Structures are given as C-alpha cells and as structure tokens.
C-alpha cells in the first residue's frame, strides 16, 4: 500500500513540475511580446493594439498555473514564526488537519470558476477591446489551475498523513 501511495504522490509531483516548466516558458513568450511592443512603439512609432492585452493574458495564465508548482516547492505563505519551531511530525499533523479547509476553499473556487469558464466557452466569449480576441480558452485556465492545486494538495496531504500516523516519511 505504501509503495502505491508513494507512486501516486510522485506522479502528482511530476505533473506539478511538468506544468511549472511549461508555464516558465510562458514568461519567455510574454517577454517577447513586451519587447516587440516596446520596439514597435518607440522605435517605429507604430504601437500594437494587441501587445498589452496578450501579455496580460499570458501573465495571468502563468500566475494562476504556478500554484501547484509553488505548493510542490513549499513556496506558499505560512506562519513560519511558529511552524519552523515544531518537529516535522507536528507540522505534518497540523498540515493534515488544516488540509480539509484548504480543499473546501479550492473546491468552491474550482466549482465557481468552472461555471464561469464553461459559460465563456458556451458563448465563445471574446474580449470587449479594440483587438477583441477570443478569451474563453483563457477563462478555462482558472479551473484547470485549481484542479492541479487540488491534486498537489492531495499529494501533500498524503505525505503529511503518512508522517503523522507512522512517524515515517513517505
């Protein structure tokens, strides 16, 4: 049983790392869009109507999607004043007990953002700007990102529960 749990946790961790690497590539794309916009605007006096909006969409996707990778790396905010003074097992117990609240919070966001995203896809929503690109696919990034965070949270919970119960890390 322990080997199966360990395998599932490693698969979820690798999914978070994989998604983080892909999202890191978006920063390069966004940087390219911004450089193009700056060069077009200031060197050629020919600003685009799409540069800022596309860069914002890319950055939003990056920020939303990085949640699972950040959780995997232990980068989310916590009360380190107390937390760092506890033993690993005590931290695991606290994290395991607080996870249902986190899961409930993420579950509500997932549910609401899915409704929002599905409606955008249903109407094939476009931006209300001069450029007017389709945005329905961008609006589906929030439920996808929250789903990845929920998976990473389950992996973390599994690690914490195993350590809290057995005293041994998974």
Query: Looking at residue 76, what is its pLDDT?
Result: 83
Q: Which domain holds residue 101?
A: 2-166
CA distance readout (Å), 61 to 29, 42, 83, 158: 12, 27, 31, 28
Query: Looking at residue 107, what is its pLDDT?
Result: 97
Query: Looking at residue 82, what is its pLDDT?
Result: 82
Tokens at residue 165, please? 């119960």
The 3-class SS string of the chain reads: CHHHHHHHHHHHHHHHHHHHHHHHHHHHHHHHHHHHHHHHHHCCCCCCCCHHHHHHHHHHHHHHHHHHHHHHHCCCCCCHHHHCCCCHHHHHHHHHHHHHHHHHHHHHHHHHHHHHHHHHHHCCCECCCCCCCECHHHHCHHHHHHHHHHHHHHHHHHHHHHHHHHCCCC
Name the phi and psi angles at 29, rounded to 5.
-65, -45
Strand partners, 134: 126
pLDDT in tens, 92-132: 999 999 999 999 999 999 999 999 999 999 999 999 999 99
Domain count, the chain: 1
Query: Looking at residue 157, what is its pLDDT?
Result: 96
Query: Looking at residue 154, what is its pLDDT?
Result: 97
pLDDT in tens, 11-70: 999 999 999 999 999 999 999 999 999 999 999 999 999 999 999 999 999 998 899 999
Query: Looking at residue 84, what is its pLDDT?
Result: 83
Residues 6+ apart with CB under 8 A from 31: none
For residues 73-90, average pLDDT: 84
Residues 6+ apart with CB under 8 A from 95: 156, 157, 160
């Amino acid at each position: 049983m322990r080997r199966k749990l360990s395998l599932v946790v490693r698969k979820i961790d690798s999914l978070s790392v994989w998604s983080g690497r892909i999202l890191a590539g978006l920063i390069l794309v966004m940087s390219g869009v911004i450089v193009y916009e700056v060069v077009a605007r200031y060197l050629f006096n020919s600003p685009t109507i799409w540069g800022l909006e596309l860069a914002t969409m890319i950055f939003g996707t990056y920020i939303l999607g990085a949640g699972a990778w950040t959780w995997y790396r232990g980068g989310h905010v916590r009360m380190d004043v107390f937390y760092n003074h506890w033993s690993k097992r005590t931290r695991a117990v606290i994290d395991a007990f607080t996870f249902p609240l986190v899961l409930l919070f993420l579950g509500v966001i997932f549910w609401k953002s899915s409704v929002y995203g599905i409606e955008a896809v249903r109407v094939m929503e476009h931006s209300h700007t001069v450029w007017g690109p389709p945005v329905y696919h961008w609006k589906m990034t929030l439920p996808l990102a929250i789903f990845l965070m929920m998976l990473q949270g389950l992996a973390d919970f599994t690690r914490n529960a195993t350590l809290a119960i057995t005293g041994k890390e998974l």
